[in-house]
Amino acid sequence: MKKDRKMSGFLVLCLAPAVILFFIFMIVPTFNVFRISLYEKGAYTPDETFVGLANFKTLLTDASFIRSMQNMILLVVVVTIITFAFALVFAGILTREKLKGQNFFRVVFYIPNILSVVVISGIFSAIYKPENGMLNSIIGLFRDMTNPILWKGQSLVMVSIIIAMVWQAIGYYMVMYMASMASVPQSLYESAGLDGAGRLTQFFQITIPLIWTNIRTTLTFFIISTINMAFLFVKAMTSGGPNGASDVALNYMYSQKDAGLYGYSMAIGVVIFLFSFALSALVNKVTERETLEF
């Protein structure tokens, strides 16, 4: 009994610092965001005026906020679909096909993930330059470029950001799926091959179902992280321009804070928090299925 008490006391001492820090730096600030969203408050003044849900009512008629939410949802949906499609395909090819230099391709695909968002944004901003960027220079070999393509112009800026975000994320998830696919018994593929199943059929009928738990977990994680990554890429590449065409909700939240509308910016933060939570719950529910074992 005395030994169990000593062990319990030791565990409490070990966990207490982490729990205290989590409470101070995560729980308290989160509740404070919800509280301040109900007030009219400047960013640099202690004065607060309770306004209830007035900030949230204003959001419903704020065209800039609505556009920023639309852009954020577009990035979350499109980047997630493209990233996971390519990551699964590349993982399947590098796992099942006997290619020369497989380890080389793994390293090359993973390199973008170890680069900072600022570096990646700088690389793609240079690629997208209208006058002497690599992309327009290549296109110029095949067509007249008197009027260069504005890749960061109002009509193409979201496409440009999507390409950068997908390039950054594919390698990480490809490596994760390769680890899962490597654990699938080769005998299952051999049996399916004897039954006449082709590579594509095996991929969708054997590989995907058997690594579905990993796909489901990474999907939820990626969707939430994309909300933050979208803000970082937009901030580093366009700052929300031109004319707010690439603005996302987190970037708009910071701009409202910088304008002195602290309570209003916290209301935007609450909406983003609830949106993330609801989206995670929805994805978990939609992707729920019986776990297959082998």
pLDDT at 232: 92
Q: Residues of the chain with pLDDT > 70: what percent?
A: 97
Is residue 215, in this structure, part of any structural domain at all? yes
The CATH number linked to 99 is: 1.10.3720.10
pLDDT given at position 292: 59
Beta bridge partners of 50: 39
Cβ contacts of 116 within 8 Å, gap of 6 or more: none
Please report the pLDDT score of residue 43 as a whole number: 66
Confidence of residue 293 (pLDDT cuts 50, 70, 90): low
**pLDDT, tens digit (0-9, with 9 covering 90-100), for 217-230:** 888 888 888 999 99
As a whole number, mean pLDDT of residues 191-199 equals 84
Contact in structure between 249 and 72 (CB atoms under 8 Å): yes
Look at residue 132 and tell me whether its pLDDT is greater than 90.
no
Q: How many domains are contained in the chain? A: 1
Nearest alpha-carbon partner for 223 in 115, 51, 79: 79
CA atoms within 13 A on the CB side of 132: 0
Q: Find the mean pLDDT for residues 148-175.
A: 92
64 token code pair: 């800039």
Phi/psi zone of residue 101: left (φ > 0), alpha (ψ -120 to 50 degrees), beta? left
The pLDDT assigned to 180 comes to 87
Least confident stretch, 112-126, 233-247, 280-294: 280-294
- Across the range 199-220, mean pLDDT stands at 88
Under the banding of pLDDT at 50, 70 and 90, the label for residue 266 is: very high
257 within domain boundaries: yes
Q: Is the pLDDT of residue 294 over 60?
A: no
* Residue 46 confidence class, pLDDT cut points 50, 70, 90: confident
pLDDT tens digit string along 18-29? Answer: 889 999 988 998
Whether 251 is in a domain gets the answer: yes
> Which amino acid does the sequence have at 98?
K
Q: Please indicate, yes or no, if residue 176 is contained in any of the structural domains.
A: yes
pLDDT reading at 7 higher than 80? no
Q: Is residue 54 part of a domain?
A: no
- Domain with 126, as residue range(s), is 64-286
Q: Considering the domain boundaries, does residue 55 fall inside one?
A: no
Is position 20 within any domain?
no
Query: Has residue 161 been placed in a domain?
Result: yes
